[in-house]
Amino acid sequence: MPVLVLTRKVEESITIGNHITVSILEVRGNQVKLGIRAPKDVPVNRTEIVESIINENIRASEAPMDLATFTETFKTGDGQ
């Protein structure tokens, strides 16, 4: 996937589509503080969190579980 590289200064922003705005709030050393304005129905997450969720879902889908264990887990609610 191609990457668009932009240069912005503090208090400048970019707009994605018509409803998402990413603003540069602060630059300190090698850290950039971003402000993100997006509709409530648009998930906004750090990439490492999204990757962790994806990996956990893959791991869970590959975990073998026999029917008796599944049934017992479902009855007791211990699947949390």
Q: Any idea how long the chain is? A: 80
**C-alpha torsion 55→17→28→49, nearest 10:** -10
CA–CA distance, 5 with 54 (Å, rounded to integer)? 26
Q: What is the mean pLDDT of residues 70-78?
A: 69
Rounded (10°) CA dihedral 46, 47, 51, 56 = 0
pLDDT digits (tens, 9 = 90+) for 12-58: 999 999 999 999 999 999 999 999 999 999 999 999 999 999 999 88
Tell me the pLDDT tens digit for each residue of 58-70.
888 876 667 777 7
Q: Where are the domains of the chain?
A: 7-40, 45-80
